[in-house]
A and B are shown apart, each in its own frame.
Chain A
Amino acid sequence: AQSVTQLGSHVSVSEGALVLLRCNYSSSVPPYLFWYVQYPNQGLQLLLKYTTGATLVKGINGFEAEFKKSETSFHLTKPSAHMSDAAEYFCAVTPGRGGATNKLIFGTGTLLAVQP
C-alpha cells in the first residue's frame, strides 16, 4: 500500500526566506510523485511531478523538489518566498509504470503562510 506523510500542517515563513515543505512517501513499487498547490477557494493546480529520470524536478513559480529514494522523500523548496505563495500544498503519490498510475494518494496538506 502507498501512503504520503507531510510533516507540518502549518508552515510560516517571512517574505524572501527559504520555503521548505516536507513530504515522505511509502511505496512498494517505484513511485510517481506530485506536488499540487491550492489557492483559497480554488481547485488544485499541478506544481511539479517526478516520474523517471532526473531526480531534481523544477516546477512553476520557482518551486523545485528532489526525489531521494534512500530517504523516501520528495521535499518541496523555493529559495525566496513571495506573498503570492501563500496557499495549501499537497504532496501525492501513485504507483509508477506498470501499476495503477491513475490512483493518486494525497498527503494531508501543508498550509503555507508568508509574513511581510
Chain B
Amino acid sequence: DAGITQSPRHKVTETGTPVTLRCHQTENHRYMYWYRQDPGHGLRLIHYSYGVKDTDKGEVSDGYSVSRSKTEDFLLTLESATSSQTSVYFCAISELGTDTQYFGPGTRLTVL
C-alpha cells in the first residue's frame, strides 16, 4: 500500500468553527489531491497540488482552502465549517507522468 496517512480519522465539530485535515505521504509523489465522498455523488475533487506551494481548484472548492509547504504534507482547511461539509474526505497521491492515484484511508467529518 502507498504510504498515505490522514489525520484525524474522525472529527465532530460545530458549525462556524475552523477545521484542518492533514494528509501525509512517504512516497515523495508530486501530485496530491483532496476529494469528498457523499452518497449519490461518488467522489468529487476539492483541490489538488502539483508541487510545493502549487495548488489549484477542483470541482467543489467553495468553502475550502489548501496549503502545501512540504512535498509530504497537504492540508485542507474549512475556514468556517457548515453542515453541508459533513462528509468523508479522502486524500490521494500520484506521480508525475503516471495515471494512477493512490488513496488514503479517509477522514469522517461531522459538522453539527
Contacts and interface: CB of A to CB of B under 8 A. Distances in A.
Interface of A: 4, 9, 32, 34, 36, 41-46, 49, 51, 90, 94, 101-104, 106-109
A51 B97 CA distance: 13
A107 B101 CA distance: 16
Contact of A107 (B42, B48, B50, B94): B42
Sorted from nearest, which 6 A-B pairs have the closest CB atoms?
Answer: A106-B42, A43-B103, A44-B103, A106-B43, A108-B42, A43-B105
Nearest to A34: B100
Interface of B: 4, 31, 33, 40-45, 48, 50, 58, 90, 92, 94, 99-106
A53 B92 CA distance: 26
A32 B92 CA distance: 18
B45 A108 contact: no
Nearest to B44: A106
B43 A90 contact: yes
Contact of B99 (A41, A45, A49, A108): A49
Given A43-B4, A108-B40, 18 more contacts: A4-B42, A36-B103, A42-B105, A43-B90, A43-B103, A44-B90, A44-B92, A49-B99, A51-B99, A94-B99, A101-B99, A102-B33, A102-B99, A103-B45, A104-B43, A104-B101, A106-B44, A108-B42
A9 B39 CA distance: 10
A108 B41 contact: yes
A30 B105 CA distance: 31
Contacts of B104: 43
Nearest to B56: A103
B44 A102 contact: no
Given A43-B106, A44-B90, A102-B50, A32 B99 contact: yes
11 contacts: A4-B42, A43-B104, A44-B103, A46-B100, A90-B43, A102-B101, A103-B48, A108-B40, A108-B41, A108-B42, A109-B42
